[in-house]
Amino acid sequence: MNMIVCIKQVPDPEAPPASFKIDPATNKVIPPKGVSPVISPFDENAVEAALKIKDAQGGKITAISLGHNLLRDVVKKPLSMGADELVLLEDEAFAEGDSWTTAYALAMAIKKIGSYDLIFCGRQAADWDSGLVGLGIAEILGLPSVTLARKITPGNGKVTVERVTADGYEVIETPLPAVITVSNELGEPRYPTIKGIMAAKKKEPIAWKPADLGMETAKIGPAGQHAKLMKLFQPVRESKCELIQADTPEESGAKLALRLKEAKIL
């Protein structure tokens, strides 16, 4: 089983909201000081999905990441968790792209890798929250896709996927190769082991540039953008919380009930 997992480096979504700042002049996020970027959490779920299959029936896992200023310690995390190879598409030319340029570049890299049965992506990235790239890769490569997976069982040239729905789940069967986007319901990603971290440190990532992938320049970076960002802003929230004060927590609980009654909310 040859598996590919697409991962994205993003600002840590667990950073306190107060540390989140935007530069209105450039419509860009100012990276918070002292907070390291991370692999987008749903992408870690996608790595875990591939590792579960590797545990059960063996196989090779190749992680791919696209971006610029990729921190080695961050993007090597799939290797330390148990992935076999890491391909980095790192180039200035990829800056200012969007989901369309990203999906195209990743699809071209997957084509270059050549042999794949399953391609995993997180259901959406923690920065733009779109959930477009996985389905874009599937469309560009002409592969079937299943989104929002919580359980993935390959066998007999097919894969059976439990897909999360609003009120439960559905079980979908699809032929291989296929693209699957993974949701957090799959379960917590494993922690890297010491052995894994040591092995990852020694492992040199494979680096490919746009020219290595035979990419059309009109489909890279700003030239390939489909959506135009007009404005990025932080909605202004006025805090007007009425704190219930009392001598003990028990008293404050009782006072809260009375206050809600008074405000006609209860």
Partner 1 sequence: MAEYKGVMVFGETVEGKLSPVTAEMLGAGKRLAKDLGQELCAILVGGDVSGFAQEAVALGADKAYVVNDPLLKDYQTDAYVTVMEKVVKEVMPRILLLGQTTIGRDLAPRLAFRLGTAVSMDCIDLAIDPGSKLLLQTRPVYGGNAQAVFTTELYPQMATVRAKAMSAPERDASRQGQIINIEAGLSPSAVRTRIVQKVTEKVEGIKLEEAEVIVAGGRGIGDANGFKQLEEVAKLLHGAVGATRPPCDNKWVPDSWQIGLTGKIVSPNLYIAVALSGASQHMSGCSGAKNIVAINKDPEANIFKEARFGIVGDWKKVLPAFTQKVKELLAA
User: 76: closest CA among 198, 188, 210?
Assistant: 198
Question: Measured from the CB atom, is 207 or 257 closer to partner 1?
Answer: 257
- Identify the helix (H) or strand (E) that includes residue 90: strand 85-90
Strand blocks (E) in 123-200: 145-155, 158-165, 168-175, 178-182
Question: Measured from the CB atom, is 25 or 243 closer to partner 1?
Answer: 243
Amino acid at 174: T
Question: Measured from the CB atom, is 95 or 207 closer to partner 1?
Answer: 95
The least CB distance from residue 199 to partner 1, in Å, is: 27
Rounded to the nearest 10 degrees, the angle between the axes of helix 99-113 and helix 133-141 is: 50
The least CB distance from residue 152 to partner 1, in Å, is: 13
First to last CA, the chain: 57
Q: How far apart are CA 181 and CA 264, in angstroms?
A: 45
Question: Measured from the CB atom, is 194 or 263 closer to partner 1?
Answer: 263
The least CB distance from residue 206 to partner 1, in Å, is: 26
C-alpha atoms less than 13 angstroms from C-alpha of 164 in its C-beta half-sphere: 13
Question: Measured from the CB atom, is 42 or 208 closer to partner 1?
Answer: 42
Question: Measured from the CB atom, is 114 or 249 closer to partner 1?
Answer: 249
Question: Measured from the CB atom, is 113 or 244 closer to partner 1?
Answer: 244
Positive/negative CA dihedral, 42, 46, 5, 194: positive
The least CB distance from residue 204 to partner 1, in Å, is: 32
User: 148: closest CA among 137, 134, 138?
Assistant: 134
User: 76: closest CA among 126, 7, 14?
Assistant: 7
The least CB distance from residue 45 to partner 1, in Å, is: 10
The least CB distance from residue 253 to partner 1, in Å, is: 3
Cα angle 231-236-241, degrees, rounded to a multiple of 5: 160
* The pair of three-digit structure tokens given for residue 200, joined into one six-digit string: 């990852």
Q: What is the DSSP letter of 8?
A: -
The least CB distance from residue 84 to partner 1, in Å, is: 27
